[in-house]
Amino acid sequence: MRDHIDGTDEERRLNILVAGGAGFIGSHLCDALLGQGHRVVCLDSFLTGSRANLEPLRNHPDFSLIEQDVCTPVDPGIQLDRVYNLACPASPPRYQADPVHTMMTCISGTGNLMRLAGEHGARFLQASTSEVYGDPERHPQQEDYWGNVNCTGPRACYDEGKRAAEALCFDWLRAGKGDVRVARIFNTYGPRMQPDDGRIVSNFLVQALRGEPLTVYGAGDQTRSFCFVTDLVAGLMALMEVNPNPGQPVNLGNPGEFTVIELARMVQELTAASSPIVHRPLPTDDPRRRRPDIGRAAELLNWAPRVPLAEGLRETAAWFALTLGRDLPQAPA
Ligand code: NAD
Ligand code: UDP
């Protein structure tokens, strides 16, 4: 359904490539872009994405799918106006499963798509990450902070890969080769996360719904800031379309900050789960805290997240309950 572009306004219909469009965030982005009346080509290797995420779009006349790795040359088949690069596993166990491929996806994949965007005169948006700040010594994180990243640890394939991808983007921009925008995405959650993805929100919700213990890594006093996926997608689209200053990376995330234990308790309450909390070893180089300063996004994009964690968690829990065929207690009136 179109909510933005009038059907007669062909000029404003854009041809948009979404790399990583079968993934959690990418599939919501495809939905939103199609909802605005654009044509969407999704490129995905299904490394961590799923066909189920694209099921609602399968017969959409303006949607097409290219199944391939982003590291190999891409032929979109149409003249492109926009390229979103979300192709990269985002969950630590997933991106660490084949770290060399993760690094190559970040560097070679980003380079490939940026060249493609250049050839088409298309605007390019890179999905970067709060991981570029590593284990931050400044809090909250502003975009001018250079970060504290271990370049030899198990997270480096992702953190340093994304940093290298950002370097590519800004070199490309300085060389005047195209219009490039960089979103630094903080922890995002919502429906369509894979149940076995390994990230905290999907793990806790799936564990609670299955009546299994909630696995808290370390003492659980590390913090994260959780953004609901629809808010994040709105931020990405605003950054692509309205950012008047493309030379700067922009943090996108929800500044509400929660400890891991607090999140576990919220999930227990929401699911009325009898699941106990069990502690597991803290992964190497796990950042101790994370919270975005979103002043730049507010100023440049007039963007701020709207969905509070309790509300987004409820929606995500309902989706997982449906997907897993489990019951979720009704929220109190
Ligand atoms: P996801 O794993 O659900 O989606 C990634 C998609 O990219 C999947 O569909 C996967 O199959 C595809 N992909 C991976 N490597 C590929 C390759 N080499 N070639 C083609 N396709 C490939 O992850 P997500 O949470 O939707 O994240 C999307 C993007 O946003 C990623 O680039 C990630 O780094 C970034 N990001 C996400 C978060 C978050 O909290 N979700 C935070 C920061 C950054
Ligand atoms: N975490 C946890 N239990 C889990 C999964 C993750 O305690 O089952 C912790 C993890 O150690 C980290 C935080 O939750 O401190 C967020 O982890 P996630 O993998 O979701 O994202 P990250 O921000 O680390 O990339």
3-state secondary structure of 58: coil
Question: Ligand 2: which atom is nearest the Cα of residue 187?
Answer: 23
Cα(248) to centroid(ligand 2), Å:
28
pLDDT at 64: 98
Q: Report pLDDT for 8.
A: 47
Cα 18 to its chain centre, rounded Å, is 12
Can you tell me the distance from the alpha carbon of 22 to that of 67, in angstroms, rounded to the nearest whole number?
Answer: 10
Report whether residue 293 contacts ligand 1, using a CB cutoff of 6 Å: no
Nearest CA to ligand 2 atom 14: 200
Nearest ligand (C-alpha, residue 251): 1
Q: Is the shortest distance between the CB of 25 and ligand 1 below 6 Å?
A: yes
3 state DSSP class of 26: helix
Query: Does the beta carbon of 260 sit less than 6 angstroms from any atom of ligand 2?
Result: yes
List of residues 6+ apart from 203 with CB closer than 8 A: 197, 214, 215
Rounded Cα–Cα distance for residues 199 and 214 (Å): 12
Which of the ligands is closest to the CA of residue 107? 1
For residue 140, is the peptide bond before it cis, meaning its omega torsion is within 30 degrees of 0?
Answer: yes
Annotated catalytic sites, by residue? 158
Three-class secondary structure of residue 127 per DSSP: strand
Q: Is the CB of 132 under 6 A from ligand 2?
A: no
Q: How far apart are CA 262 and CA 292, in angstroms?
A: 18
Q: What burial class does residue 53 get, using C-beta atoms within 10 Å of its C-beta: 0-12 exposed, 13-18 middle, 19+ buried?
A: buried
Mapping DSSP to helix (H, G, I), strand (E, B) and coil, where does residue 207 land? helix
Q: Encode the chain (333 residues) as per-residue pLDDT tens digits.
A: 344 454 446 668 999 999 999 999 999 999 999 999 999 999 999 999 999 999 999 999 999 999 999 999 999 999 999 999 999 999 999 999 999 999 999 999 999 999 999 999 999 999 999 999 999 999 999 999 999 999 999 999 999 999 999 999 999 999 999 999 999 999 999 999 999 999 999 999 999 999 999 999 999 999 999 999 999 999 999 999 997 787 899 999 999 999 999 999 999 999 987 899 999 999 999 999 999 999 999 999 999 999 999 999 999 999 999 999 998 876 555
Cα-based torsion angle of the residue sequence 239, 243, 249, 251 in order, rounded to the nearest 10 degrees: -50
Which ligand has its closest atom nearest to the C-alpha of 221?
A: 2
30 to 56, 80, 137: CA distances (angstroms): 11, 15, 36
Ligand 1 centroid from CA 332, angstroms = 35
Q: What is the pLDDT of residue 274?
A: 84
